[in-house]
Amino acid sequence: MAPRRDSAGGGGEAVTGAGASRRGSGGTSPARERADRYWCEWALLDAGAGPAAEPGVLVEVSGGLITSVARGTRPPDGAERLRGLTVAGFADAHSHAFHRALRGRTGEDGGSFWTWRERMYEVAGRLDPDSYHRLARGVYAEMALAGITCVGEFHYLHHAPAGTPYSDPNAMGRALIAAAAEAGIRITLLDTCYLAGGLGTDGAYAPLEGIQVRFGDGGAEAWAERAAALRAAGAHARVGAAAHSVRAVPPADLARIARTAREAGWAAAHIHLSEQPAENAACLAAHGCTPAQLLDRTGFLAALRPTLVHATHLTSDDAALVRGTGAGVCLCPTTERDLADGLPELDRLAGAPLSLGSDGHSTVDMFEEARSAEAHERLRTGRRGTLPAHRLLEAVHTGGHAALGWAAAGDPPAGRIAPGARADLVSLAVDGVRMAGFDPRRAADALVWAATAADVRHVMAGGRWIVRDGVHALIPDAAARLDAAIREVAP
C-alpha cells in the first residue's frame, strides 16, 4: 500500500542541529528551500544508541539533509505517513558489480575459489564501457531496492581486452559512476592497483596473463597517474584507492601506493587480505611474514589505516596488528560462504572498525550479510552473541559509510536519522510473515534476525525517493534491464 498523507494533530519535541540548514553534499537531487515532512510509525534512529525503535517520529528534510527530528508525535497535517519501521540507508562497502553476472551459474560443478575465478575472468573479458554501464546500473538498482544508498565499488577492470587503454583511460570507471547516478545511489569508486598475476613461493611475481592484462597499469606510478585523472562526476561520487592484494601488488609498489594515497588525500583505501589460505602460505614462503605483516612492513597499514576486505585467515598476531593500527575490516559473509573461503575468527577482531559488503553478489541483502556474520561465528565457536545486533547494524550504517570516506570532518553524517545527517531513509513493512511479531523494543534484533531485502518498501537517498512501494522510481523496469545486461555478458 502506498504511503499516504494523514491529517491528524501534531506534537512532540523537535530536535534541530547546527548542521540542519546546510545543503547536502552527495545528495541526488537539487537542494530545496521548503522542508518535506515524514511521520514514521516507528524509527530506529541510531543503531549504536540501543536496540529500541522510537514511536511517532517526525522527520523533516530539506536540501538533501534531515533538518529536524521530533519523537513521540502524532502525524501532523501535511506530513507523509511511513508505516512500519524506518531506518537509515545502508552502505555496501565492497562490490564487484560485474560478478553479479555469475549468480546461479557457478555452483553446480564443485571446485574452489580458484576455479570460480576462471568463470569470473570470462565475464571480465566480455565487458566494454557500454555493457559495463548497463550491467552496473542494474546491479545498483537492485541495491537501491534492498535499501542500499551508498556503495563501495572495488574497481580493477580498467582497460580494453588486450590491455590497451581506452581513449579515455578511465572510461570503465566513469561508466560505474554514471550507473550509480542513474540508480540514485552514492558511490565510492575504489580505483584498484593490480600489477601481477600471482605470487610464487620463491618470491617471484607472475606477469599478468590473459584477461588479467585488462587490470594492469604497468606499475604503481602509472596507476596513480591514471587514477589521479579520474574526477568524480557529480556530488554523488568519491574516488578512493585500493591495492588488489599482496598477491597482485609487490611490496615496493604497496609502499608507493601508501605514499601516493596519503599525499593525494584519497577518500578511502581498501585491500583484499588473507582471503585464502594459499595467499598466506605464498606470502610466508616468499617474504617470511603473513600478508598483514607485509602491509605493516611496507607502511600501508600505518599510513592509510585501510579497510581490509575479508581478513578471513588472520593469525592472532595479525589481528592484534590490525586492532593496533586502527585498520578496519569489511566482511562479505555471503560471498565468503559461496566461495568456500572459510570462517574468520571474529572474536579476535573485537574493537576493529567493521563494515559489510555484498562482494560477488550471490545475494544483495545487507540484512543477510549482517545475519550471516554472526551466524557463521556461532557455527565456528558454538557460542552465541559475539556480534550483537546493534554492532552489525552499525557496520551497515555508520561503519560502512566511514569505510567509504563519507564521514570526513565537515561531512554531513550518514547512517543515522539525526538533524544535519544525510536524508537517507529506508522504510520496511513489519506486517508481513517474516516480521510478524515485531517488537519495537527489540527492533535491532528484528532487523538482523528476521528482515530481508524483500521487506523494503520505500528508499530515500539524499532527500529523493528512489524506491516507492518496492518499485525503483528511476528504473521501474530494473529487473528486465538487469536480466538483459547479464545475458549480454554471462558465460
As a whole number, the mean pLDDT across the chain is 91
The helix (H) or strand (E) run that includes residue 391 is helix 389-396
β-strands 90-95, 148-155 pairing: parallel
- Per-residue pLDDT, 78: 93
What average pLDDT score do residues 305-330 get?
A: 97
Q: Which residue has the higher pLDDT, 114 or 228?
A: 228
Q: Which residue has the higher pLDDT, 31 or 262?
A: 262
Q: What is the pLDDT of residues 211-232, one digit of tens each?
A: 999 999 999 999 999 999 997 7
Under the banding of pLDDT at 50, 70 and 90, the label for residue 368 is very high
Q: What pLDDT score does 211 carry?
A: 95
Question: How do residues 52-72 score in pLDDT, each as one tens digit?
Answer: 999 999 999 999 999 999 999
pLDDT at 26 over 50: no
Residue 299: pLDDT band with limits 50, 70, 90 = very high
Contacts of 95 (CB under 8 A, 6+ apart): 139, 143, 151, 152, 153, 154, 357, 358, 359, 361
List the beta bridge partners of residue 6.
79
Supply 204's cell numbers: 617471484
Residue 372 pLDDT more than 80?
yes
- The pLDDT assigned to 105 comes to 83
Residue 15 scores a pLDDT above 60? no
Residue 20, pLDDT above cutoff 90: no
Percent with pLDDT over 70 in the chain: 93
Confidence of residue 34 (pLDDT cuts 50, 70, 90): low
76-97 average pLDDT score: 97
Q: Is the pLDDT of residue 3 over 50?
A: no
Q: What is the pLDDT of residue 87?
A: 98
Give the per-residue pLDDT at 17.
41
Determine the average pLDDT of the residues in 42-54: 93
The pLDDT-based confidence of 108 (bands split at 50, 70, 90) is low
β-strand partners of 269: 241
Residue 63: all three cell numbers together:
536540501
Give pLDDT tens digits for 134-151.
999 999 999 999 999 999
5 against 407, higher pLDDT: 407
For position 50, what pLDDT does the model report? 86
Instruction: Give the residues across from 66 on adjacent strands.
Output: 61
**Is pLDDT above 90 for 104?**
no
**369-387 burial by CB neighbour count: b if 16+ within 10 A, else e?**
bbbbbbbbbeeeeeeeebb
**Averaged over 251-265, what is the pLDDT?**
91
Grid cell in block for residue 16: 534541530
Regarding predicted confidence, which is higher, 456 or 408?
Answer: 456
The confidence band for 11, taking pLDDT boundaries of 50, 70 and 90, is: very low
State percent of the chain over pLDDT 90: 84
Which of 94, 158, 159, 310 does the annotation list as catalytic? Answer: 310
How much is the average pLDDT of 154-169? 97
What would the mean pLDDT of 372-401 be, rounded to a whole number?
96
Task: Check if the beta carbon of residue 92 is closer than 8 Å to that of residue 400.
Answer: yes
Concerning whether 458 is annotated as a catalytic residue, the answer is no
Which of the two residues, 16 and 377, has the higher pLDDT score? 377
Is 310 annotated in the active site? yes
3-class secondary structure, 211: helix
Task: Name the pLDDT band for 14 (thresholds 50, 70, 90).
Answer: very low
**Of the listed 359, 365, 424, 455, which one is catalytic?**
359
Interatomic CA distance for residues 307 and 91, integer angstroms: 14
Q: Give the model's confidence band at 116: pLDDT under 50 very low, under 70 low, under 90 confident, else very high.
A: confident
pLDDT in tens, 435-469: 999 999 999 999 999 999 999 999 999 999 999 99
Alpha helices in 90-231 (DSSP H): 113-124, 129-145, 171-183, 220-228
DSSP 290-318: -HHHHHHHTTHHHHH--EEEE-TT--HHH
